[in-house]
Amino acid sequence: MILFAATSIYWDLPVLLIAVSLVYSATRHDRWDRIVKEAAGWIVRMVGFLGGLGVVLYILSTYPEYWKIIAGIGIVGTIIYYGYSMKLFKKRAKPAAPIPGAK
Amino acid sequence: MTVAPTGKRKLDWLAAFLSYLLPGLGQIVQGRVGKGILYFVCLYGLFFYGLSMGSWKNVWLGDYSQQSGGGVMGFKLPGFTKDLSYRKEFAGQFWIGIAAWPAVLQYQTTEPIPKSDDPGKESWQPAPNKLFGSYMQVPPEAELNKLQRDADKRWDLGWVFTVIAGVLNILVIYDALAGPVIRDEDEKAAAAKPAGGAA
């Protein structure tokens, strides 16, 4: 286990995640606060996605007999997560009522 | 909030070319020094980290002119494009700029790879370049097989890193050419615009 932790290729992934997030965010903004904020958002999203996928695959390989339930939970969880992150479930704001007497 | 760009962007072709040569150089020339350094550190870091993961043997372009195959979707490709079809990764790695030029030089100076049915192919060893030696030169097939077998997947992950670094530099080149996607002045203009879209 220790040997696996020491030699695993997963230790190389943070370099990729940080570099990709920072460079992509810097091509979208010029202000440093926005670059850092967007890069942090991308890191969280990518780690969440890859980590979630890893957890689902680990549970599937540990309990293969429950694959239908695990796959169902995974699919529903993904839909809910991306639905919220893409603001699909939020109520759209109604347009403001016109001010009486205004043109 | 995404703001649609207003007004025409002035294109800076010189900065774009400089950013191709060295990631971030165009931004530094434009006065965006911090951003230029960020691009340089991130992209060169990613590229050379990937190169080292692949034992410095995962960026190259070989001369496959003697091979009978090669092509895309059944179409045979001529010359350089045929070689690129054998080593598609280089199409992404090339965009890192000067750092990938040794591979282009090696491609120009290294002899063609022997045919698949050539009995000497197993023992084929390209002559090292006088300037770069075997750096970014097409490795012999036996060495490639050994790297892929013994490198614990890091050789493969390494070339992925180098390709991503090259492709990301295309975004950096565009940033030098036309500026960031969301500009401060666009947001100011959008904020100053009266509600309802009246100009």
The ipTM value here is 0.84
Whole-angstrom distance, CA of residue B40 vs CA of residue A22: 12
The answer to whether residues B187 and B3 touch, using CB atoms and an 8 Å cutoff, is: yes
Judging contacts by C-beta atoms under 8 Å, the chain B residues touching residue A23 are: 38-39, 42-43, 168, 171-172
The answer to whether residues B29 and B22 touch, using CB atoms and an 8 Å cutoff, is: no
Inspect the interface and report whether the beta carbons of B43 and A23 lie closer than 8 Å.
Answer: yes
* pTM metric for this prediction: 0.82
Whether the pLDDT of residue A79 is over 60: the answer is yes
Inspect the interface and report whether the beta carbons of B175 and A26 lie closer than 8 Å.
Answer: yes
pLDDT of the residue at B34: 96
Whole-angstrom distance, CA of residue B78 vs CA of residue B198: 56
From the list A22, A27, A30, the residue facing B184 with the nearest CB is: A30
Residues of B with CB under 8 A from a CB of A: 32, 34-35, 38-39, 42-43, 45-46, 49, 53, 152-154, 157, 161, 164-165, 168, 171-172, 174-175, 179-184
Whether the pLDDT of residue A3 is over 90: the answer is no
List pLDDT tens digits, range A30-65. Answer: 999 999 999 999 999 899 888 888 888 888 889 989
Binned at pLDDT 50, 70 and 90, residue B167 comes out as very high
Whether the pLDDT of residue B198 is over 50: the answer is no
Instruction: State whether residue A45 sits within 8 Å of chain B by CB.
Output: no
DSSP labels for A7-75? H-GGGGHHHHHHHHHHHHHHTT-SSHHHHHHHHHHHHHHHHHHHHHHHHHHHHHHH-GGGHHHHHHHHH
Scanning chain B, the segments in alpha helix (DSSP H) are 13-21, 25-29, 33-53, 79-86, 89-93, 101-109, 141-150, 154-178, 184-192
Question: Min CA distance, A16 vs chain B (Å)?
Answer: 7
Whole-angstrom distance, CA of residue B37 vs CA of residue A22: 12
Binned at pLDDT 50, 70 and 90, residue A103 comes out as low
Q: Which residue of B has its CA nearest to A17?
A: B46
Question: Min CA distance, B111 vs chain A (Å)?
Answer: 35
Judging contacts by C-beta atoms under 8 Å, the chain A residues touching residue B176 are: none
pLDDT of the residue at B197: 46
Give percent of chain A above pLDDT 70. Answer: 78
Q: Which residue of A has its CA nearest to B35?
A: A26
